[in-house]
Amino acid sequence: MTLIELKPGQRSRIVGWTSAAPPARLLEMGMLPGAEVELIRFAPLGDPIDIKVRGFHLSIRKSEAQLVEIEST
Amino acid sequence: MAETVPLQIVRRVALVGNPNVGKTTVFNLLTGMRQKVGNYPGVTVERKVGRLAGEPPVDIIDLPGTYSLSPKSADERIAYDVLMGHLEGETSPDLVVCVVDASNLERNLYLVSQVMDTGLPCLVALNMTDAAEEAGLHVDVAKLEQELGVPVLPLVASRNEGIGKLKYRMRQESLPEPARPRWDIMPVVEEGLPFLTDHLDGILPEHGRRIEVLQCLTNDAMLDHWARRLPAFHAAILAERERLEGLRAPYQQAEIMGRYNWISPVVARVVQRSKADTELTVSDRIDAVLTHRFAGPVLFALLLLLIFQAVFTWATPAMDWIEAGVVSLGDVVRGAAPSGMLTDLLVDGVIAGVGNVAVFLPQILLLFFFLGLMEDTGYMARSAFIMDRIMSKVGLSGGSVVPLLSSFACAIPGIMAARTLANPRDRLITIMVAPLMSCSARLPVYTLFIAAFLPTGTILGILTWQGVAMFSMYLLGTVMAFVAAFVLRRFVFNKGDSSFFAMELPPYRMPRFRQILWRMVDRSKAFVVRAGKIIFGMSIILWVAATFPRAELTPELAQEARILEVRKAERVEGLKATGMSTEEAALLIDEQFAEEDTALDARIASFRIERSVIGWMGHALEPVMRPLGFDWKISAGIISAFAAREVIISALATLYSVGDADEDSPLLREQLKADTYEDGSPVYTPLVAVSLLVFFVLALQCMSTLAIARRETNSWKWPAVMWLYMTGLAYLFSLVIYQGGQALGWG
């Protein structure tokens, strides 16, 4: 499953990326296989989302979250 | 014989760090007001250098806040080039201070590990240790020092704690040992590295070779410049990429994974948690309200309302004082200096011109104050979070909201606020469309023409036509800004990597008013200096254009002036006969004739300006502007409004010989209404007024905006494009409105 399928408050672990060339910025911010992620909330209009990874809050768009594969919960 | 003074080489220290870690606060505390701000050559990255006073002096370079040194953006490129000594005429710094957020160690150490790879002496300034303790995170400083192999200094920059020690370490004669990389890359990549670094033998200093190879391996922009400088190395890198691809080794991510594989265990060893990671912090609780599905947008709207209220209402008294001050300064100068051309130039050109800039200063200061408050507390990122969905539809991002809204007050702070956008394309598009938002300089023009030419009745009993017209002006500008953004995104900036959005939502923090005021003054200074210079120059040019060539008065006008003088002289003589002194009599008569004097002076001014360069240009432009419904006077007014929009009012006042007038002057309104063409038809119809209003909504008539856009984009290309497309739009819209209106018989 992908990151977008989490519900607010749910946590999981990143398994990998569905894209061959994931955005380098997100990798550098620590969104690597093995890292824990929590979906905190959706923005008021549904996009982007607020996630917590490696202890900090990061906002990414749904289109990017779709590229992140996570362990099924 | 002069003594030989030993040449003192000033130590250079670079500050690096992620955004939102308090790096700028540290820099300000270290250097105070001894800062020089400029741009790096060829890019729009701000270059900030300051001096740590005392003995021995130290120069501090504040590098842009970045998450990485691997050059993907201009900021990262500059940070990397400065550290590696790649910039022309500059060597690597003697010491690198990494400012690190203690409450967010893992991600922050990523950048530190890259800095350690450069082999430069470095030390870690562990900032925000108070916030970390609050979040239940205790960092074992001694252990961290040991793990990293570089000195670590704990700090709380917001409370000025630990800064003294940091200063001491920066000055200390013995620098820390050059840092060494402590992480390992996957073996398959590692085995190819020695062969590649050998290529750079004798070209780069030893400490810089390995990191350069790693950069080139994954980054085309980094590799490209070697194609000409060292083709063999270029070819070797390409061959290595092919080898790794053949082995299906994920070498693109190898570096990032290698670094985190080292960092994560280090963090686990040095950080003690006393609270569960799942526990909600104060910041999380605030976020639950401020980014709440319903409350979030409502609170954001209320905040904007407050800012608008402040900028448009609270600033008014200060603006009135400045206006009055400029006028009385002009009067004082005119009273003290001998009357003549030079005094006219000083008062009407220089003082009035500078006044045109200064009058916006209260609004700009207030706006920068609120922007600083939003940034400092961390709310700016939330506003982008809330608005991103809407803005991405037109090709902008959530971060564009605040710059665009600021532009309702003035495009200059708006364009400067676009710096907060990390994506260069989003930033450029925001800059390009910001001047379409109706700024406060347009307001007097709207006021004058709407009050003079639009009906006063009401619609549906509550709304007045004039209010609706005013609102429509703002709406038109905003809609056009979105359309322009959409078109730019779709047809001009449609190449390159697909835009992605990764924005940190930093924890909320108490605002530090000193920092906010500091930044407010800093940014306002940039506005005053940049815009001031241009407006100053343009005001003089416009004054000259409106004054020369100085036409001879017609015999009739000269005659009238003489008659008035004679009449006054006669009356003075009459009063003197009653025993009054000459001076008293002259004063009394001047008072009695004040109205006639002003009226005649105004007619002479109007006569002269028609024959001046401006008047001539207005006539020359008239054939082009007639299809929009504009006569030569409006055309001349538009030309003089090129420097600043509101100038059209004083220009029209002169052309209609009204003396001094502002947008509320009933006299100017009446004059405009009464003006006719030779055939007796009125110059201004409501249709002409609408056409003119629309022209002012869309045209870029502001030298300062062009100047600031030139500074922010570092080229004349984008300001030129900006001027052309906006003026083109203005012409097109006014043309369609006037011609269409006439065809429908609304003339």
Q: Tell me the one-letter amino acid at B352.
A: A
Among chain B residues, the shortest Cα distance to A33 is held by B257
Q: Look at residue B115 in the predicted model and tell me its pLDDT.
A: 95
Q: Look at residue B495 in the predicted model and tell me its pLDDT.
A: 67
CA distances from B444 to B208, B365, B395, B448 (A): 59, 20, 32, 6
Rounded to the nearest integer, the mean pLDDT of chain B is 86
Among chain A residues, the shortest Cα distance to B136 is held by A55
Q: Look at residue B44 in the predicted model and tell me its pLDDT.
A: 64
In chain B, % helix, strand, coil (3-state, to 5) comes to 65, 10, 25
pLDDT digits (tens, 9 = 90+) for B23-50: 988 998 998 877 777 767 666 677 889 9
Round to whole Å and give the CA distance between B619 and B633: 8
Q: Look at residue B439 in the predicted model and tell me its pLDDT.
A: 86
Measured between CB atoms, does B70 come within 8 Å of chain A? yes
Whether residue A34 contacts residue A20, with contact meaning beta carbons closer than 8 Å, is answered with no
Name every chain A residue with its beta carbon within 8 A of the beta carbon of B260: 30, 32, 35
Mean pLDDT for B524-548 is 76
Asked whether the beta carbons of residue A44 and residue B106 sit closer than 8 angstroms, the reply is no
Max mean pLDDT among B129-133, B514-518, B552-556, B570-574 falls in B129-133
Q: Look at residue B455 in the predicted model and tell me its pLDDT.
A: 81
- The region of weakest confidence among B84-88, B299-303, B597-601 is B597-601
DSSP state letter for B175: P
Going from the N-terminus, what domains does chain B have, and what CATH number goes with each?
A: 11-171 (3.40.50.300), 187-248 (no CATH)
Among chain A residues, the shortest Cα distance to B497 is held by A23
Asked whether the beta carbons of residue A32 and residue B257 sit closer than 8 angstroms, the reply is yes
Q: Choose, out of A17, A59, A63, the residue to mutate when testing the contact with B (most B CBs < 10 Å).
A: A59
- The region of weakest confidence among B370-379, B461-470, B478-487, B682-691 is B461-470
Q: Which two tokens stand for residue B438?
A: 């109706």
CA-based nearest residue to B249, from B197, B196, B186, B195: B186
Among chain A residues, the shortest Cα distance to B273 is held by A55
Asked whether the beta carbons of residue B502 and residue A26 sit closer than 8 angstroms, the reply is yes
DSSP-assigned beta bridge partners for residue B676? B682
| pLDDT exceeds 60 at position B1 | no
Asked whether the beta carbons of residue B68 and residue A58 sit closer than 8 angstroms, the reply is no
Superfamily of domain A3-70: Ferrous iron transport protein A (FeoA) (2.30.30.90)
DSSP state letter for A4: G
Mean pLDDT for B618-635 is 92
Name every chain A residue with its beta carbon within 8 A of the beta carbon of B291: 41, 43-44, 50
Measured between CB atoms, does B704 come within 8 Å of chain A? no
Mean pLDDT for B423-434 is 90
| pLDDT exceeds 50 at position B141 | yes
Kindly report whether the peptide bond that precedes residue B56 is cis, defined as omega within 30 degrees of 0: yes
Measured between CB atoms, does A66 come within 8 Å of chain B? no
Measured between CB atoms, does B248 come within 8 Å of chain A? no
Name every chain B residue with its beta carbon within 8 A of the beta carbon of A26: 500, 502
Round to whole Å and give the CA distance between B606 and B600: 10
* CA B379 to chain centroid: 19
Among chain A residues, the shortest Cα distance to B276 is held by A55
- Compute how many other C-beta atoms are within 10 angstroms of the C-beta atom of residue B113: 23
Cβ-Cβ pairs closer than 8 A, A with B, add up to 114
Measured between CB atoms, does B110 come within 8 Å of chain A? yes
| pLDDT exceeds 50 at position B513 | yes
Round to whole Å and give the CA distance between B553 and B607: 8
Measured between CB atoms, does A4 come within 8 Å of chain B? no
| pLDDT exceeds 90 at position B140 | yes
Asked whether the beta carbons of residue B294 and residue A28 sit closer than 8 angstroms, the reply is no
Map B229-260 to HEC letters: HCHHHHHHHHHHHHHHHHCCCCHHHHHHHHHH
Measured between CB atoms, does B518 come within 8 Å of chain A? no
Asked whether the beta carbons of residue A44 and residue B107 sit closer than 8 angstroms, the reply is no
Q: Choose, out of B293, B379, B497, the residue to mutate when testing the contact with A (most A CBs < 10 Å).
A: B293
Asked whether the beta carbons of residue A30 and residue B294 sit closer than 8 angstroms, the reply is no
**CA B148, B149, B153, B158 torsion: positive or negative?**
negative
Nearest-CB residue to A60 (from B292, B296, B501)? B501
The DSSP annotation for B337-376 comes to SPSSHHHHIIIIIIIHHHHHHHTTHHHHHHHHHHHHHHHH
Q: Choose, out of A57, A58, A63, A64, the residue to mutate when testing the contact with B (most B CBs < 10 Å).
A: A57
Asked whether the beta carbons of residue A44 and residue B386 sit closer than 8 angstroms, the reply is yes
Asked whether the beta carbons of residue B388 and residue A55 sit closer than 8 angstroms, the reply is no
Measured between CB atoms, does B287 come within 8 Å of chain A? yes
Asked whether the beta carbons of residue B385 and residue A60 sit closer than 8 angstroms, the reply is no
Q: Mind telling me how many Å the CA of B503 is from chain A's nearest CA? A: 5
Max mean pLDDT among A38-52, B408-422, B490-504, B605-619 falls in A38-52
Name every chain A residue with its beta carbon within 8 A of the beta carbon of B506: 56-57
Asked whether the beta carbons of residue A58 and residue B500 sit closer than 8 angstroms, the reply is no
CA-based nearest residue to B498, from B423, B386, B429: B423
Asked whether the beta carbons of residue B502 and residue A56 sit closer than 8 angstroms, the reply is no
- The region of weakest confidence among A6-10, B41-45, B138-142, B560-564 is B41-45
Nearest-CB residue to A61 (from B296, B501, B505)? B501
> What residue has token string 């980014």?
B291
Q: Which residues contact B249 (CB under 8 A, 6 or more apart)?
A: B186, B188, B189
- Compute how many other C-beta atoms are within 10 angstroms of the C-beta atom of residue B214: 24
Among chain A residues, the shortest Cα distance to B502 is held by A60
Name every chain B residue with its beta carbon within 8 A of the beta carbon of A61: 388, 392, 500-501
Residue-level length of chain A: 73
Q: Which residues contact B639 (CB under 8 A, 6 or more apart)?
A: B614, B617, B618, B621
Phi-psi region of B172 (alpha: psi -120 to 50; beta: other; left: phi over 0): beta
pLDDT band at B132 (very low <50, low <70, confident <90, very high): very high
Name every chain A residue with its beta carbon within 8 A of the beta carbon of B390: 45
Kindly report whether the peptide bond that precedes residue A48 is cis, defined as omega within 30 degrees of 0: yes
Among chain B residues, the shortest Cα distance to A47 is held by B389
Nearest-CB residue to A30 (from B260, B284, B501)? B260
pLDDT digits (tens, 9 = 90+) for B450-464: 888 888 877 777 778
- SS3 assignment, position B150: coil
Asked whether the beta carbons of residue B67 and residue A60 sit closer than 8 angstroms, the reply is no
Measured between CB atoms, does A9 come within 8 Å of chain B? no
- SS3 assignment, position B20: coil
Name every chain A residue with its beta carbon within 8 A of the beta carbon of B257: 32-33
Name every chain B residue with its beta carbon within 8 A of the beta carbon of A35: 260
Nearest-CB residue to A43 (from B110, B284, B389)? B389
Kindly report whether the peptide bond that precedes residue B549 is cis, defined as omega within 30 degrees of 0: yes
Interface ipTM above 0.90? yes
